[in-house]
Chains A and B, each alone.
Chain A
């Protein structure tokens, strides 16, 4: 079964750090671009970052540039998001998502999400 499972969410104080993980199974992880997408409580979806198959290209939404780092370990079939200098507005459910093949692809597989709460 094709599956993505996120972990690592929790409660953190403003200015703190957190590292999210996403474990992939059921497909050749190293063949796909991967993304993180977040959803603040009661709000819509917001793309956060993505990473190329070999990790050589990474892109971020402006609001997290310089604070968040996306990475992957293809040997462990895992995707990561290191989040530093967290702010209240980073509070959200964070989903990892697989990008389908092709140009301008859809996100065809999503994890169940992990909740990050930034609060004092």
Chain B
């Protein structure tokens, strides 16, 4: 059974960089046909896809966040990471990592990590 677990800072100062890591267990991040995404959900709101990475390292980001986002993969540790620069209060959200089966729909999710942007 694949499991994903987010970790990182729960409190970030405005204008700084949000950093989160998603550890994958029960399967390989290099498995073909899968891509690995970050998705966020502001308190009381809906879901927003942030970006994805493939095990090859290829990435694509939501155009609305593109200039501030980077996602990287560490195959040796079976994990992938998110960095979001120049954060504001609007970036306060629960951040989920998820696997897209066949690079399509999200069948495995982490439990989510609440990140609050505040001074």
Tell me whether A and B are bound partners. Answer: no
List residues of chain B with CB under 8 Å of any chain A CB: none
List residues of chain A with CB under 8 Å of any chain B CB: none
